[in-house]
Amino acid sequence: MSADAVTQSASRLPRFAQGASGICLNLLLLGGVLWGVGVVVDPTRAAFAWLTAFAWGATLLLGLLLFLALQHLTGATWSVVIRRFGENVLAGTPWLLLLFVPVAVFATQLFPAMGHHPVGGAKGIWLSLPFVLVRSVLYLGIWTWMARTMRGPHAGRRAGLFVVLAFLTTTFATMDWLMALDPHWYSTLFGPYVYGQGFVAAIAVLCVLTVTLGRGPAKGFIRARQRHDLAKWLFAMAVFWGYLAFSQWFLIWYGNIPEETGWMLYRWSGGFQALTVVMVLLLFGIPFVVLMTAFNKRLAPLLGGVAALIVFGHYLGMYWLVMPAYGTFQPAGLWLDAGALLAVAGGLGLAAAKAFAVRGAVPHDDPDLAIAMRPDEEEDEAAELEGGLA
């Protein structure tokens, strides 16, 4: 890579980081005000809105942790620059502990077993408020340690451990924070289903950053084949999530057990029918159709657009899991949902923007960068394609 490209990359970064920080700060303030008003107007509705936004952000960051761990575990070099994008976004992981505070404060209103409908036996002990809070702090502490290590020199040596820890902690966290919304319902596929959705959204975020930064601070360091490889990941994981979603629905439908079917029926009634269809289209249908061909995978604007839809679809997926536990769909409360989402997204985005300002968008000191930038026989063809579509 030429010295000019390095210089141009460094010159574009401060402007990008400053602009992103300003936008995210405004989103954080606006969302915080909206949600704060919502707490005064309807505390229970505000609690469910915050849990939805928190679950969206937490599962997205956990998906990034898994993706980066897999890249280190396999010794991948094609994703060197893309890894830096993910590492910077993971700077928001320590803030999950702060974002969890409203969930802990409103836990008795969110989770029946911790409030007005206690459960007996071993399940009651497991879902008791003190035990859940202790486990939650443990999860968040492990994720923070993993995120910080992932940004350091020992990430490769601990990648295998991180993959195992990510799966275990996320499975238990989804049980405590999402499945516990209905303490009498259970599904052995629920953890992988939620984690798979977060993994798809995480790759989508990387796609959006790759397309955006590839025209700015990382220009000259993102090649068409890297976007193509990332798009293949996105396509494969969208299909995998579709498989998990269908498997969970099919087993519940075929078993026809009242304790299980009720949970699904709540999400196909009460005004949630349209949300269910849109969610499936955004997370599976559109990516499957649009990204099926290699030609489409290489088109940066198309990839970025599909990825942005998936990120929003991930929020709808968390909404679909959380809000039926509150009641029927209520359009009048969407402003409160928007406030919680803006606050969480703004806070995590602000942390990521600060990380980009400090660590940069390109790992110039990584010895694998030269390998990732090495051209191959497809580069000329891809460059001509991009030139013709510009």
Categorize the per-residue pLDDT at 389 as very low, low, confident or very high, splitting at 50, 70 and 90: very low
Residue 170, C-beta contacts closer than 8 angstroms, at least 6 positions apart: 59, 62, 191, 194, 195, 198
d(CA 86, CA 51): 24
Burial of 85 (0-12, 13-18, 19+ CB in 10 A): buried
Task: Give tens-digit pLDDT for 301-330.
Answer: 999 999 999 999 999 999 999 999 999 898
Task: Give tens-digit pLDDT for 194-240.
Answer: 999 999 999 999 999 999 998 888 888 888 888 999 999 999 999 99
Residue 20 backbone class (left: φ over 0; alpha: ψ -120 to 50; beta: rest): alpha
Structure tokens at 6: 């390095």
Of the candidates 108, 105, 173, the one whose C-alpha atom is nearest the C-alpha of residue 141 is: 173
Categorize the per-residue pLDDT at 175 as very low, low, confident or very high, splitting at 50, 70 and 90: very high
- The per-residue pLDDT of the chain, averaged, comes to 89
Query: Is pTM beyond 0.75 here?
Result: yes
Question: Does the pLDDT at position 381 exceed 70?
Answer: no
Residue-level pLDDT at 383 = 46
Residue 48, C-beta contacts closer than 8 angstroms, at least 6 positions apart: 110, 322, 323, 325, 326
For a pLDDT cut of 70, what percent of the chain falls above it? 93
- Tell the residue number behind the tokens 């620059």, with chain if given: 81
Residue 103, C-beta contacts closer than 8 angstroms, at least 6 positions apart: 47, 50, 51, 54, 110, 177
